[in-house]
Structure 1
């Protein structure tokens, strides 16, 4: 066996096999880091899992006369999050394609400043691609001082393309759900 390892052809074959194994390991490692942003991008593009769209304006989207959608608002706080959090109104009927505005109310019930971030989703999940948020408190972290209560706006619209989607032909209500989670303090924050 020792004689065959000194063979230059065998050494080249072992080197290729080793490099191939190393390449596969590095590729798997890199894919592990890239999977979260790739999945997030996939969800944003397709609306998969109830991921909403994010828009700056409403380019070329016009209201559809006589076509409305009921939008229900749901709010939750993660265990250990010392906030009260609720929608100002639990439902709205909006004209499809028109800008709509709603407000959520949050109050810090603790005696310390608390920073939170909201995660969100839309149900039914196939309607997420047609629900576009223009402005939302969920785009940034929110810090509330002890006892502070704030009103947090959401500006959104339901894209008229939902009317042409066979998967949404029976959709009469969309639920926008938020859960506030505490943001752990970091040594890197200033």
Structure 2
């Protein structure tokens, strides 16, 4: 093999090695970015029943849109469970409510720490049917932060929410008469 051919082969090998290294670094970066990107995707689209977070201004706009839509109503069902080993009781004060689409409403959940130690919990949530997640907006929620309960402590925790009137224009929401808001409390990771 000539010197020029050997040099060309060496350059190609270096280029291939650098491209493989760059590909590995890119895959590592995508691996770290996958979870936040997936969470962002779910929040934006409501995928998998992920609810939306709203501001007071968005709630006011939804109320005006809801009034213009004729005050249609929908049933909301509330569900609350705890992960095994948490040592809490957790339930909604009221199992169902009928709300006007676009209007703010409040649900109250009750949690009680039955253990003999302080326990910090965090709530995961979901909405069913899945397509309703894009239209179920929470303004304030205990699920936005961790909750610490002392031994024997019982607390009432509110969720301020509304159903976006845009749901009335979505063919996938046609025939949906009830939305279920579910929470599960887990012990927070230390």
- What SS does the aligned partner of 1:138 have? helix
Query: Which residue number in structure 1 is paired with residue 121 of structure 2?
Result: 116
Query: Which residue number in structure 1 is paired with residue 19 of structure 2?
Result: 20
Aligned CA-pair RMSD: 1.6
- 1:128-155 deviations in whole A, cap 9, x for unaligned? 0000000000000000000000000000
Query: Which residue number in structure 2 is paired with residue 188 of structure 1?
Result: none
Query: Which residue number in structure 2 is paired with residue 49 of structure 1?
Result: 48
Unaligned runs of 5+ in 1: 186-190
Q: Which has the higher helix share?
A: 2
- 1:141-176 deviations in whole A, cap 9, x for unaligned? 000000000000000000001011000011000000
Query: Which residue number in structure 2 is paired with residue 166 of structure 1?
Result: 171
Number of residue pairs aligned between Structure 1 and Structure 2: 184
Query: Which residue number in structure 2 is paired with residue 98 of structure 1?
Result: 103
- Indicate if the aligned counterparts of 1:131 and 1:157 stay in contact, CA closer than 8 A: yes
Distance 1:19 1:5 in 2: 21
- Indicate if the aligned counterparts of 1:4 and 1:10 stay in contact, CA closer than 8 A: no
Unaligned runs of 5+ in 2: none
- What SS does the aligned partner of 2:10 have? helix
- Indicate if the aligned counterparts of 1:77 and 1:179 stay in contact, CA closer than 8 A: yes
TM-score of the superposed pair, with normalisation by structure 2: 0.93
TM-score of the superposed pair, with normalisation by structure 1: 0.93
- 1:24-77 deviations in whole A, cap 9, x for unaligned? 111111111100000000000100000000012114212333400100001110
Distance 1:60 1:155 in 2: 15
